[in-house]
Amino acid sequence: MATDLSTAAPEEIGIGDYQYGFHDSTENYTFKSRKGLDREMVEQISAMKKEPAWMRDFRLEAYDIFLSKPMPSWGGDLSHLDFQDIHYYMKASDRQEQSWDDVPDDIRKTYDRLGIPEAEKKYLAGVKAQYESEVVYGSLQEDLAKKGVVFTDTDSAIRDYPELVREHFGTVIPSFDNKFAALNSAVWSGGSFIYVPKGVEIEFPLQAYFRINSENMGQFERTLIIVDEGASVHYVEGCTAPTYSSESLHSAVVEIIVKRKARCRYTTIQNWSNNVYNLVTKRAMAYGDSLMEWVDGNLGSKLTMKYPAIYLMEPGARGETLSIAFAGAGQHQDAGAKMVHCAPNTSSRIISKSISKSGGRASYRGLVKVEAHATGCKSNVVCDALILDPESRSDTYPYIEIEQEHVAIEHEASVSKIAEEQLLYLMSRGMTEAEASAMIVTGFIEPLVKELPMEYAVEMNRLIELQMEGSVG
Amino acid sequence: MTASLKINDLHVSVEGLPILRGVSLEIRQGEIHALMGPNGSGKSTLAYTLVGHPKYEITQGSIEIDGTPLNELDACQRARLGLFLAFQYPVVIPGVKVADFLRHAITNIRNPNRKEGEGLIPMREFRKELKAMMDELGMDGEFARRYLNEGFSGGEKKRMEILQLAMLKPRFAVLDETDSGLDSDAVRVVSEGLRKLAGPEMGVLIITHHERLLEYNVPQFTHVMLAGKIVETGDASLARELHNEGYSKVRLRHPEEAAEEAARAQGRAAEPAGV
């Protein structure tokens, strides 16, 4: 019979089965900032990084914008987020290494536990491992480097590719875009810089792995990806953090430029611990006949507010966002997508699947916008929500702004519960109630998971199963 | 030793409404029983109660397999004891591939003490077995890669049930109108499938309106249900008689149950629309 939630021990109902909640000592850190944010902190971060003046000015201007913007009143509950209770910069080790053997023991062991070095050997073309504020390990396959592919951390890129960075940095997401974009612009550190030269197609994914270790940590990576004409890349990011009773903040900015006939796929498997605010701005500009795809999996965090955007800038550009959100106890996933059709004959597709259980809340928030001169555009939006119990919640906020008559826009939304008949059917074939629920949930997201490379599909299913394990009421 | 599925004085209510009013029946491994009766007599209620549908509440009586009481067991535990229901209306499970589902199911049924998360039966072995079984039932191998019952025709769904029956090899199988809604070719396929599967190791309860399934799988016992009771038990000739002549003679022979049946029908008609 069903587990009685009121009497079951926590381990029986799946609370505390987050696997990555461990943490390392921070004693040997090279630098720990005090808590709190002010102008001096921004200047200190810039000075430590020995940045050029333009970047220092960019940060300070962004800081002023951050102060001038009110907190968003929509989306999730941000009332407990205290900007003065956060460490804005932490450096765990002195330098970035090219060999895992050189990475400090504690940190290397952490990445071992996360399986990154193993994945690197098997199926990755390059890796960046960011620990707190800085990237501690980086690699890129030699043949790709020879072809002119750049995969480095954004701090190094400012030194090594100053013109390329300065030309694009902050052009896709200006500091004034929103409060958290401004915050990131002021205090950013780390993140990936990728340049794929014309016509170069990278077969295996490049992966970045973001790890928060300290309590009350703020991680603000800044990623810039430029895919030149006819080139292609698949970038994957993963993220985890220790479980603490106090909150941490992750607020990234990701800017992507996909030039003519290029392709970029950006896959996120977000698995932050349940005390992390995850407030991220991601946007791509897709030019003529290019393809930009976001595959956005949100499983962790306390609150996620993230709506990866694609601006379709020239005819023939295509944008696609596949979004999977899983909200468990104490979690709110406010996720979705934005598609802005700025040019004629552009097309977009959004597929969103959300699952909420044990009082979790999953919201789809999306925008499809077609500008006045953009004739002949097509957009298709499908949002499906699965609610596993009466305590959980799902909402859909679809916004459509059309300034043009000659377009084809489709929107479908569905909300479902696991039907008693489905559970009975699977249980009558020998599945336990928990197995049956997990199987139904896995099936629900299958259409998205099958889009992932095999290794990530396996990982996604494993994470979903962990979330579901023994959790049936 | 042959095991038996024993149903003793079973009373069942659905949402407080009594449907079964004292059903007793014993099925031994190797026997085929037919259960017939007019619409609303409680045949499907018996099937759902046996499999453990939580909506069907046993108010009195018991179900046992080989002396183990089932009343307090859920559908999963019952399945692992060797009970199988071929559903009249198999549900769609979107995104779950037939092969993945079956591999999971078989692993659990064959290792009834398996804990969640423990390994599944080896892929190679499973695939070989599945392919052999699908060949035998004349099913296209492509079935295994489809999502469970999604977009299946009526006949395909029923064949899917028979495939599951074949793979899970239960000790007791209940077939709830597995022949309904099928054209005659499909009925033949399903009937032949069942005939291949039923044997000395399997006790079968066939719930049907029709005779075709019984032509291929001749029952030793035919039971007739009326208003929540088994009112008559005979052999295969009783099934033929009911098929040819309908239930009017049965009603005449059992006026009390016939009256109850009429009262139930009236009660349903008197309910406000939409309830």
**CA distances in angstroms from A469 to A15, A243, A435, A436, listed in the order given:** 10, 19, 8, 11
Among A421, A430, A445, beta carbon nearest to B105: A430
The whole-angstrom distance between residue A110's C-alpha and the CA centroid of its chain comes to 20
Note the pLDDT of residue B2: 84
Range with lowest mean pLDDT among A130-134, A183-187, A334-338, A415-419: A415-419
Report the distance separating Cα B164 and Cα A126, nearest Å. Answer: 45
How does pLDDT run across A344-397, given as a tens digit for each residue? 999 999 999 999 999 999 999 999 999 999 999 999 999 999 999 999 999 999
Report the distance separating Cα A239 and Cα A184, nearest Å. Answer: 17
Note the pLDDT of residue A380: 96
What average pLDDT does range A277-298 have in this prediction? 97
Which amino acid is it at A131?
Y
Note the pLDDT of residue A13: 34
| Packing angle, helices A39-48 and A179-187, rounded to 10 | 50
What average pLDDT does range A74-99 have in this prediction? 93
Number of alpha helices (DSSP H) and beta strands (DSSP E) in chain A: 11, 24
Note the pLDDT of residue A382: 94
Note the pLDDT of residue A17: 65
Report the distance separating Cα A342 and Cα A317, nearest Å. Answer: 10
Residue contact A430–B109, C-beta within 8 A? yes
Cα angle, residue A394 at apex, residues A390 and A396 outer, rounded to 5°: 155
Answer whether A445's CB lies under 8 Å from B95's CB: yes
The whole-angstrom distance between residue B49's C-alpha and the CA centroid of its chain comes to 10
Range with lowest mean pLDDT among A4-18, A331-345, A412-426, B142-156: A4-18
Note the pLDDT of residue B244: 87
The whole-angstrom distance between residue A89's C-alpha and the CA centroid of its chain comes to 20
Report the distance separating Cα A435 and Cα A445, nearest Å. Answer: 16
Note the pLDDT of residue A417: 87
DSSP B41: S
Q: Is the pLDDT of residue A472 over 60?
A: no
Which amino acid is it at A318?
R
Q: Place A405 in a pLDDT band, splitting at 50, 70 and 90.
A: confident
Report the distance separating Cα A401 and Cα A174, nearest Å. Answer: 22
What average pLDDT does range A224-228 have in this prediction? 98
Half-sphere exposure (CA, 13 Å, Cβ side) for B121? 22
At a CB cut-off of 8 Å and minimum separation 6, what does A277 contact? A78, A81, A247, A248, A249, A250, A251, A301, A302, A303
Residues of B whose CB is below 8 A from A2: 74
What average pLDDT does range A291-307 have in this prediction? 95
Tell me the CATH number for domain B4-89+170-270: 3.40.50.300
Note the pLDDT of residue A15: 37
ipTM, two decimals: 0.95
pLDDT averaged over 10-residue windows placed end to end, chain B, 275 residues: 92 95 96 94 96 96 96 96 96 95 95 85 94 90 94 91 95 92 81 86 90 86 96 92 90 94 81 47
Q: Place A418 in a pLDDT band, splitting at 50, 70 and 90.
A: confident
Domain ranges, ordered by start, for chain B: 4-89+170-270
Answer whether A59's CB lies under 8 Å from A186's CB: yes
Note the pLDDT of residue B275: 36
Residues of B whose CB is below 8 A from A447: 95
Among B75, B112, B116, beta carbon nearest to A427: B75
Q: Is the pLDDT of residue A262 over 70?
A: yes
From A307, A305, A304, A303, select the one nearest A294 (Cα to Cα).
A307
Answer whether A194's CB lies under 8 Å from A225's CB: yes
Note the pLDDT of residue A94: 83
Residues of B whose CB is below 8 A from A1: 72, 74
Residues of B whose CB is below 8 A from A470: 116
Length of chain B equals: 275
Give the three-class secondary structure for A267: strand
Answer whether A256's CB lies under 8 Å from A284's CB: yes
DSSP-assigned letters across all residues of B188-212: HHHHHHHHHH-STT-EEEEE-SSSH
| Three-class DSSP labels, chain B | CCCEEEEEEEEEEECCEEEEEEEEEEEECCCEEEEECCCCCCHHHHHHHHHCCCCEEEEEEEEEECCEECCCCCHHHHHHCCEEEECCCCCCCCCCEHHHHHHHHHHHHHCCCCCCCCCCCCHHHHHHHHHHHHHHCCCCHHHHHCECCCCCCHHHHHHHHHHHHHHHCCCEEEEECCCCCCCHHHHHHHHHHHHHHCCCCCEEEEECCCCHHHHHCCCCEEEEEECCEEEEEECHHHHHHHHHHCCHHHHHHCHHHHHHHHHHHHHHHHCCCCC
Q: Place A196 in a pLDDT band, splitting at 50, 70 and 90.
A: very high
Q: Is the pLDDT of residue A469 over 70?
A: no
Residue contact B96–A429, C-beta within 8 A? no
How does pLDDT run across A41-57, given as a tens digit for each residue? 999 999 999 999 999 99
Residues of A whose CB is below 8 A from B52: 424, 427-428
- Name the percent of chain A lying above pLDDT 70: 95
Which amino acid is it at B63?
I
From A390, A392, A391, A410, select the one nearest A400 (Cα to Cα).
A410
How distant is the Cα of B168 from the closest Cα of chain A, in angstroms?
A: 8
Residue contact A443–B164, C-beta within 8 A? no
Residue contact B75–A420, C-beta within 8 A? no
How does pLDDT run across B229-239, given as a tens digit for each residue? 999 999 989 98
How distant is the Cα of A307 from the closest Cα of chain B, in angstroms?
A: 26
Residue contact B80–A430, C-beta within 8 A? yes
Report the distance separating Cα A438 and Cα A418, nearest Å. Answer: 11
Residues of A whose CB is below 8 A from B75: 424, 427-428
